[in-house]
Amino acid sequence: MHPVQPNRYRIPGGQDAAAQTILQCAPDQIDRQFLDALDQDAARALGRYGVRQVTTALRLPSVDLLHQALLATAIATCLSEDKWDDRDLMVTVALHWVVAQRLGMDPATMFARIASRIPNPEVASVLTVFGHRHDITLKAFGWQELTTDDGPDFGPVHDPDPDLII
């Protein structure tokens, strides 16, 4: 068995600039027209960015970057409406919740703010309810904090099949 790789290493970041551009163009109230203009490459870029940048937000520290990471995750989830599952979304955003708390933010406020921006009521509901929880830990959602030469990072408790990396 090989050691678990940190998110910043195991999740490709080659499309981070594309994700940043999409987020810069995102209207305050994201609508169906905006989402329809994005393809699955954009969804993949946003999904990867949303997980990778949680680590950067913790390291800097940057509340703004954490907001952008959660927004990217929410948009990516909206773009894969027929393929997402509440539990998968909760596992992913557990990282955002933990880092929000570490940065001194109220997770409920941050999650509600992002939920209010997206058009999918199911995704918004999961974010809002999850943000209000008080039982969120990395371990409970299958994550662990890892120490790297570059600073803290996160990784799954058990390394997933590399072919399944988003």
Q: What are 136-159's pLDDT values in tens digits?
A: 999 999 999 999 999 999 999 976
CA gap 60, 38 in Å, rounded: 29
Residue 160 has pLDDT above 70, yes or no: no
Structure tokens at 111: 């999650």
Q: Which residues contact 139 (CB under 8 A, 6 or more apart)?
A: 157
CA gap 102, 126 in Å, rounded: 21
Considering only 44-48, 51-55, 80-84, 91-95, which range has the smallest mean pLDDT? Answer: 80-84
Q: What is the pLDDT of residue 47?
A: 97
Q: What is the pLDDT of residue 166?
A: 46
Q: What is the pLDDT of residue 106?
A: 98
More confident residue, 74 or 83: 74
Sorting pLDDT into bands at 50, 70 and 90, what band is 165? Answer: very low
The pTM of the full predicted model, rounded to 2 decimals, is 0.93
CA gap 2, 111 in Å, rounded: 35
Q: State the Cα torsion 80-82-87-93 to the nearest 10°.
A: 20
Structure tokens at 62: 């940057």
- Percent of the chain at pLDDT above 70? 93
Q: Which helix (DSSP H) or strand (DSSP E) does residue 156 occupy?
A: strand 151-156
